[in-house]
Amino acid sequence: MTTDLMPNRFRPGETDLPAREADLVARRDAVLGASYRLQYRRPVHFVRGQGMWLYDPDGRAYLDFYNNVPSLGHAHPEVNAAMTEQAGRISANTRYLEPRLVDYAERLIATFPEAMDRVVFTCTGSESNDLALRIARHVSGNDGVIVSSYAYHGTSAAVAAVSPNLGDAVRLSPSVRMVTLPGPAGIGQEQAGAHFEAQVKAAIHDLQRRGIGVAALLFDSIFSSDGVCIDPPGFIAGGADAVRAAGGLVIADEVQPGFGRTGEHMWGFQRHGIVPDLATLGKPMGNGFPIGAVVGRRDPMESFGTTARYSNTFAGNTVGIATAEAVLTILQRDDIPGNALAMGQRLRQGLESLATSQEMIGEIRNAGLFCGVDIGRPDATPLQRRKAALDVVNAMRDDGVLISTTGANEDTLKIRPPLICAGDHVDRFLETLEGALKRVASAV
């Protein structure tokens, strides 16, 4: 079955738009074309952002519980001031000596386990995962990559080819193997680690008997596109060990869980008690400025760097570095991960409380401020669940709160607000969700 890969989107002809938006959509389609999708049945149109809020041209405010790039909030004055100040001085590239690049690299690495002491900068999370795969294939001499069933790791050719989430239209690499996760497979928490390990070992065996070998286990430690599959902490460890024993590298895709989103830790892999060989960074690193990185253990990083050079024109330029430095300073100074933990708890408690009266709320899963909520009445079919989740998301959009869906069946609410959100934002989100659930339930 090929499902609609982006159900929460605008479909021309399905919704009547106001003239202003209809004109803009028509002009947009004429130049940007089919690759560009708009979110929501009725697209949103924003001209200003501040903190947790986005504003449409009429001044209507939307509470942002979805965007995980501006972790420190939209249009952050301190971050922007750092970017502006550096841009007025110099945007030096990494082939010239410049102290700021080194200062930030040292500070960034200090947030990782001691064994991970090298960093290479990129411009996007896709570039980070692409480089990590290059490193893993180079040092292992193997080609095989193991990912979760519904993984998404980015948009370059090599990374798209190990992203089953992209669907049948994007050809998978002959060298990728998918493993089911314990939650979606209906495996209980006690058996979760053993299930994952057995899956990974079967994948390794299959790769080896075909002469492909295993280069890497590549995973997002909150498995966001699989539906936010996070528990129990540690279930990845046995599978990771098996990959290492087979000569592959363990790559933590920290593009979404990284930089404190999971609350208790700076990095998502720490929640699972493992130290990967490589970690890939992206989205919130510059609060919107295009910057990413691969942080890793010395041996694979140096083995790759010594023989295959890597250079990336924009990556590590001082403007991106100054911006990322401001982000890291604020994250640490204001204990943003601590806020993510506290607000994640408040969100979870509110959702659990709401679940007692709203039967459409199924399982609730969160690590800090990355939260998934399964939607659908207990007896609903997959299609009904999917439609219900989509209805809820669009009802909330109409009520001025932004979230979306995730998971193989896209019936899980994907909730990931900027990490600066406060108690009243959480409360507003919960109230809006309650209203949306009631409206959707009564419409069925």
Query: Which residues from 365-394 bind its own copies, rule CB under 8 A?
Result: none
CB of 40 to its own copies, least distance (A): 9
* Torsion angle (degrees, nearest 10) of CA 267, 250, 295, 258: -20
Instruction: Tell me how long the chain is.
Output: 444
Contact set for its own copies, span 116-145 (CB under 8 A): 117-120, 123-127, 130-131, 133-134, 137
What b/e readout covers 165-183, taking b as 16+ CB neighbours within 10 angstroms?
bbeeeeebbebbbbbbbbb
What is the pattern of x (binds its own copies, CB under 8 A) and - over residues 262-301? --------------------xx----xxxx------x--x
Contact 147, 219 (CB under 8 A): yes
Q: Which residues contact 335 (CB under 8 A, 6 or more apart)?
A: none
Contact set for its own copies, span 158-197 (CB under 8 A): 158, 160, 166, 169-170
Q: Which residues contact 135 (CB under 8 A, 6 or more apart)?
A: 249, 278, 294, 296, 300, 301, 304
Q: How far apart are CA 301 and CA 278, in angstroms?
A: 8
CB of 293 to its own copies, least distance (A): 10
CB of 211 to its own copies, least distance (A): 15
Q: How far apart are CA 320 and CA 101, in angstroms?
A: 9
Under rule CB under 8 A, residue 3 binds its own copies = no
Nearer to its own copies, 235 or 289 (CB): 289
What is the pattern of x (binds its own copies, CB under 8 A) and - over residues 55-84? ------------x-xx---xx-x--x--xx
CA 386, 390, 396, 400 torsion: positive or negative? positive
Strand 48-50 to strand 53-55: parallel, antiparallel, or no bridges (unpaired)?
A: antiparallel
Under rule CB under 8 A, residue 237 binds its own copies = no
CA 340 to chain centre: 15
Under rule CB under 8 A, residue 215 binds its own copies = no
Under rule CB under 8 A, residue 15 binds its own copies = no
Candidate ranges 39-47, 220-228, 263-271, 327-335; the one touching its own copies (CB under 8 A): 39-47
**The one among 19, 58, 309, 333 contacting its own copies by CB under 8 A:** 309
Candidate ranges 28-36, 341-349, 376-384, 392-400; the one touching its own copies (CB under 8 A): 28-36
Candidate ranges 112-120, 235-243, 270-278, 387-395; the one touching its own copies (CB under 8 A): 112-120
Residue 364, CA distances (Å) to 74, 214, 407 in order: 27, 34, 13
Residue 274, CA distances (Å) to 230, 236, 268, 298, 410 in order: 14, 8, 10, 17, 29
Under rule CB under 8 A, residue 88 binds its own copies = yes
CA 406 to chain centre: 11
CB of 102 to its own copies, least distance (A): 5
DSSP-derived secondary structure letter, 376: S
Under rule CB under 8 A, residue 2 binds its own copies = no
Contact 434, 355 (CB under 8 A): no
Candidate ranges 190-198, 309-317, 340-348, 428-436; the one touching its own copies (CB under 8 A): 309-317
Please give the size of the binding site for its own copies, defined by CB under 8 A. Answer: 98
Contact set for its own copies, span 348-367 (CB under 8 A): none
CB of 183 to its own copies, least distance (A): 26
CB of 388 to its own copies, least distance (A): 22
